[in-house]
A and B are shown apart, each in its own frame.
Chain A
Amino acid sequence: MSPMPQRSAKITVPSNLYTAILAVAFGAVVATAAYVAFRCYTQYGTIFGMP
């Protein structure tokens, strides 16, 4: 999958666009999880158990 130069293939510039997109998606998921954990802790005093 690495952009190894081949003889018969044309030369393409490596792009980190999709990495950035994945990072955005990861960041959104992390932020959502952190927000949900914060709300659970502030409202019920625990994150995973029953109050």
Chain B
Amino acid sequence: MSTLTKVLIVLLTVFSIFLCGIVVTYVVNADNYREMAETRRRELAAARNASQAAQNDLADAKEQADQMRRDMEARMNELRVTISDLETRLESIQRENTQMAQRVRDMGASVQQANELQASQMQQAQTSQQRVAALEAERTRLSRELAETDQALMERMAVVAQLEEKTRQLTEANQDLESRLNQYLRQYGKAAAAPATVTPRTGIVQPAAPLARDIDLTARVTAVDINNALAELSIGSAAGVRTGMVFHVTRGQQYVCDIRILEVGPDQSVGILERIQVPPRVGDTAATNL
């Protein structure tokens, strides 16, 4: 074996061992790409799952956010309505407050006026008490005078009673005389007039009243009983006809007779015929004064 062969053998061996060592070192230190790929694949799937879950969570969160937004909008609307009501109430309360403040000021002024009025009334009360004391003294004096006046009045009352008795007697005598005078004057168609007072009246001069006045009644003959000399007139006591009155019956310008009233009704009267010149007829005129 030549030396060159030996050298080649040794070099081949050395290089082979060296190359094998390098290859083994590389293989030992080489990465396991399959395992890495599997790991990355699993990580990718996990990431996708996480992404899907995150999207689902995002959608849920968005839905919840929308729901919360709607709830918040509804609540904001309610709060706006509440705020509007509260503002209205606030304005009302402010107005009431203003009115109450005005009333308080008015009441303060009223209290001040009342105090002034009370002071004035106190002063008036003191003045009144003084006047009451003076009036009490005056009343005592007047009471004493009243007692004296009562005594005088009692004496004059006795005199007045006597005068009244005398007046009553005179009145009765006057009435008796007046009734007698009327009875006498009726047949002449007259009645007693009110007498003039003895004491003259002051003022405008008046003519003296006549002693007698005309009765001045006019009626129609409504029925005639010539056989019994009776006739009926169309007026009665309502018109003033009294028993004993004499009516003069005429027919135009002709005197017919007289009728002396015997019986008087409310709206008719019956009398006896006297001084007959011609027979009376129904429709003739009868009057107390010609």
Contacts and interface: CB of A to CB of B under 8 A. Distances in A.
Interface of A: 1, 18, 21-22, 24-26, 28-29, 31-32, 35-36, 39, 43-45, 51
B32 interface: yes
Interface stretch (B9-17, B110-118, B172-180): B9-17
Contacts of B166: none
A5 to B, nearest CB: 15
Contacts of A22: 9, 12-13
Interface stretch (B19-27, B209-217, B225-233): B19-27
B27 A35 contact: yes
User: Lowest 10 A-B CB distances belong to which pairs?
Assistant: A32-B20, A25-B13, A25-B16, A28-B20, A18-B9, A21-B13, A43-B32, A28-B17, A32-B23, A39-B27
The binding surface of chain A is classed by DSSP as helix
Contacts of B5: 18
A32 B1 CA distance: 29
B16 A18 contact: no
Contacts, number: 43
A44 B20 CA distance: 21
B20 to A, nearest CB: 4
A26 B13 CA distance: 8
Interface in B1-54: 1, 5-6, 9-10, 12-13, 16-17, 19-20, 23-24, 27, 30, 32-35
A18 B13 CA distance: 10
B16 A29 contact: yes
Contacts of A25: 12-13, 16-17
Contacts of A51: 34
Contacts of B1: 1, 18
Given A18-B1, A18-B9, A35-B24, A43 B16 contact: no
